[in-house]
Amino acid sequence: MLRSKKTYLSLLIAACAYLNAVAQRSEILLDEDWKFSKGNFTDAAQTGFNDTRWETVSVPHDWAISGPFDKEIDKQVTAITQNGETRPSEKTGRTGALPYIGEGWYRKKLDIPVLKQGQKVLLQIDGAMSEPRVYLNGKLVGQWNYGYNYFYLDLSNEVKPGQNQLAIHLRNMAKSSRWYPGAGLYRNVHLIIKEEKSIDQWGITVTTPVVNKEFAKLNIKTKLSGNNIRLVTQVLDRSGKQVALDTAKTTFGNEADQNIQLSHPHLWSPESPYLYTAVSSVYEGNVLKDVVKTRFGVRSISYLAGKGFSLNGEVRKFKGVCLHHDLGPLGTAINTAALRRQLTILKEMGCDAIRSSHNMPSPEQLELCDEMGFMFLAESFDEWAKAKVENGYHLYFNTDAEKDIVNLVRATKNHPCIVMWSSGNEVPDQFGAEGVKRAKWLQEIFHREDPTRPVTVGMDQVKATMQSGFGALLDVPGLNYRVHLYADANKAFPQGFILGSETASTVSSRGIYKFPVVKGIDKQYSDFQSSSYDLEYCSWSNLPDDDFVMQDDKPWVIGEFVWTGFDYLGEPTPYDTSWPSRSSYFGISDLAGLPKDRYYLYRSRWNKEKPTLHLLPHWNWEGREGQTTPVFVYTNYESAELFLNGKSLGIRKKDQSSPQNRYRLMWMDVKYEPGTLKVVALDSNGKPVAEEQVVTAGKPHQIVLTADRKEITADGKDLSYVTVSVVDKNGNVCPTADNQLNFEVKGAGKFKAVCNGDATSLESFVKPTMKLFSGKLVVVVQADKKGGTAQLKVTGKSLKGGTLEVLCKPGN
């Protein structure tokens, strides 16, 4: 095939530009060909150590997620004071019953090019669980303690041209967490090679101190290394078009300060998450030395007494959820496709805010929240100086808290999604003067590093914080539960508003319904499940409707963060003394990411763009014929009529008689009979506008597969989540099916994991077999790098099998 001279010239120019860019700054993701072994190897840091028999893994990596589940792992005899317990009891699933405890080693060979005079080599670790000790060519070159934090090391004086041996040692102690922390290099590791005359790592700070429709003032502070250099900043819009250009005119010490005007800016918000890019270029004379790209959003935030929270001048309330950092069957190993799926599910529900609980978020999560439009409450610690668990963060607080906050802020401060920092969650330090001093000290560190955002703490000891002054000093008083104390706290605190920093803690198991249907506190059953009628909660918490009342009726309540958006590994309340429970029941969606009924309760209130009409329970109740089986409807319509086998059971309309009647439609006296249960929503004139139905299903007959994405990228990381369910001969979903299924993936992908959302299941996430739970489970298919079609085949005894193809397309 002949090519024109013009084409060859274009390719040559592109190649030269690429080589020049590499010479300026090169960032290499160290994701493949790591050697890993769990255990204590005293000489594993040395270059001559033989690791040929070690497992070869890709990073991010969680060494514990493959199991097995074991009751004896991290068994604790303790009283959980946060739950109001006064007597110790045996806790067996508190940290997920997975083998995260112990020591692990990661080793990787690094080929370093011959460096030019003054070039720098940095190693950045986004998170390692935990206590990472980093060795290069047998020498300890740096360490950190907090497994949730980001840090980087300057290896410039230690690397040598050619092959280098990188080794990282990790240690996880027993009784070091209140939930499943994961294990290993669970976030990304980066190698950065750059010029000495360059922009410092995390050295760019972008703020928008003036924002209106006509123009925005963009302030960019850039920390630089080297003399006689020039900084040029180019601002690009979403399409890559230049909208501003500025050369830094003033430098104070090593920091350049630029003020740039953007005309008619696009403002960032959850509804319109518009992102700009600042391209910062450093020149020595006419020679380009460094280029750093920073995405940012133009937006303003304020928290004012009498108004509450405003974004871009408009008052709004947070419709948020709390999220732990594990990704269900993937464990804690970060995966962008898994994070995007979580956020997509939440977005459809109407959620607009995330709280990272109770730790520092991953860079990938923040990037997605910027792109997809979620406000973010970035949290730091679950402990200060006083312990919750024997080997928790209190061991490091006095020596590490400041540097951990500094790294959190400097690494993430340019994300427009972050609208608030949290310095702690339910810390025992809430009591007494020492705790007040610690809260003030931490808040001042945040203010020093970032004067543009407020600081909160999730407080559960509300009366104590009212008496001590703890709550009064915070920028934003955050109350965890205690809705009955909201009014008293608002009177006692000077801020003029209250944030529901953690709300509800309603518990449920997807597709499980218990009778009789009544409110229940710490309710337990012999099968270790909780009822999906959404009327069960914990001793310290409440039902969703109670929080809805506060959000709707009290202008000084600025929003809520529900505990939790998804089930997570560990903390199996109310069954934390009951084996084999090993994951939570709090989620609005289950551990597999499948929505529970409660999802539609929140959706009916939060999603203003689409109608919601959801009917529960399922209608397969053999043996309950003639017995009372209440029916609930979650909808944003004000009224609806219920039909059973064509007979009307009456119209219900939302009213103010109780929080539940205000937000739910309930038929409490329905007598079960097999057949078709149908609800018809009515508009304000009483005319039918929508309907939903559930049907009594027959015996399981056929497997049905539905993928969240049928096209994914062939990069060895991208994922398709396939929901597997079973239907009868007529195509009706079988809601109680628990068949054992087997999975096989061929072609351009592989079987990655499986999860059914059952908090009591001890089946492995990584073996290609699992039982359905409440008629469903989710299989995760991972693309390879070759491209092509991946075929998932699912089979089960006496069932017609199902197949599904996923196209794995080469990336750009």
Please choose, from the candidates 178, 65, 68, the residue with its C-alpha nearest in 3D space to the C-alpha of residue 584: 178
Question: Does 426 qualify as catalytic in the annotation?
Answer: yes
Counting beta carbons within 10 angstroms of the beta carbon of residue 403, is it exposed (0 to 12), middle (13 to 18) or buried (19 or more)?
Answer: middle
Asked if residues 637 and 611 have their Cβ atoms less than 8 Å apart, the reply is yes
Please choose, from the candidates 594, 484, 586, the residue with its C-alpha nearest in 3D space to the C-alpha of residue 537: 586
DSSP-assigned letter for residue 362: P
Give the list of residues 6+ apart from residue 376 with CB closer than 8 angstroms, or none: 353, 354, 355, 356, 361, 366, 369, 415, 417, 418, 419, 420
Give the list of residues 6+ apart from residue 684 with CB closer than 8 angstroms, or none: 638
The structure tokens listed for 210 are 């003036």
- How far apart (Å, rounded) are the C-alpha atoms in residues 78 and 87? 8
User: Could you write out the DSSP letters of every residue in 74-90?
Assistant: T-EEE--GGGT--S-EE
* Helix, strand, coil share (%) of the chain residues, nearest 5: 15, 40, 45
Q: Which amino acid is at 340?
A: R
- How far apart (Å, rounded) are the C-alpha atoms in residues 136 and 108? 10
Peptide bond into 564 cis (omega under 30): yes
Catalytic residue selected from 502, 536, 560, 641: 502
Query: What's the 3-state SS for 213-239?
Result: CCEEEEEEEEEEECCCCEEEEEEECCC
Which alpha helices (H) appear in 462-506, and where do they start and end?
A: 462-468, 470-473, 486-492
Q: How far is CA 316 from CA 141, 153, 356, 782, in A?
A: 48, 41, 20, 39
Q: How far is CA 251 from CA 55, 186, 221, 228, 580, in A?
A: 50, 39, 9, 11, 61
Length in residues, the chain: 812
Q: How many CB atoms lie within 10 A of CB 67?
A: 18
Counting beta carbons within 10 angstroms of the beta carbon of residue 692, is it exposed (0 to 12), middle (13 to 18) or buried (19 or more)?
Answer: middle
Please choose, from the candidates 25, 28, 29, 26, the residue with its C-alpha nearest in 3D space to the C-alpha of residue 281: 25
- How far apart (Å, rounded) are the C-alpha atoms in residues 386 and 428? 6
Catalytic residue selected from 131, 195, 379, 426: 426
Give the list of residues 6+ apart from residue 492 with CB closer than 8 angstroms, or none: 466, 471, 472
User: Could you write out the DSSP letters of every residue in 728-797?
Assistant: -TTS-B-TT---EEEEEEEESEEEEEEE---TT--S-SSSSEEE-BTTEEEEEEEE-SS-EEEEEEEEET
Asked if residues 178 and 227 have their Cβ atoms less than 8 Å apart, the reply is no
Give the list of residues 6+ apart from residue 466 with CB closer than 8 angstroms, or none: 488, 489, 492, 493
Please choose, from the candidates 787, 763, 545, the residue with its C-alpha nearest in 3D space to the C-alpha of residue 665: 545
Q: For residue 772, which phi and psi values (nearest 5 degrees)?
A: -65, 150
- How far apart (Å, rounded) are the C-alpha atoms in residues 298 and 210? 9
- How far apart (Å, rounded) are the C-alpha atoms in residues 787 and 193? 31
Give the list of residues 6+ apart from residue 648 with CB closer than 8 angstroms, or none: 641, 642
Asked if residues 154 and 64 have their Cβ atoms less than 8 Å apart, the reply is no
Counting beta carbons within 10 angstroms of the beta carbon of residue 647, is it exposed (0 to 12), middle (13 to 18) or buried (19 or more)?
Answer: exposed
Q: For residue 449, which phi and psi values (nearest 5 degrees)?
A: -80, -30
Catalytic machinery residues: 426, 502
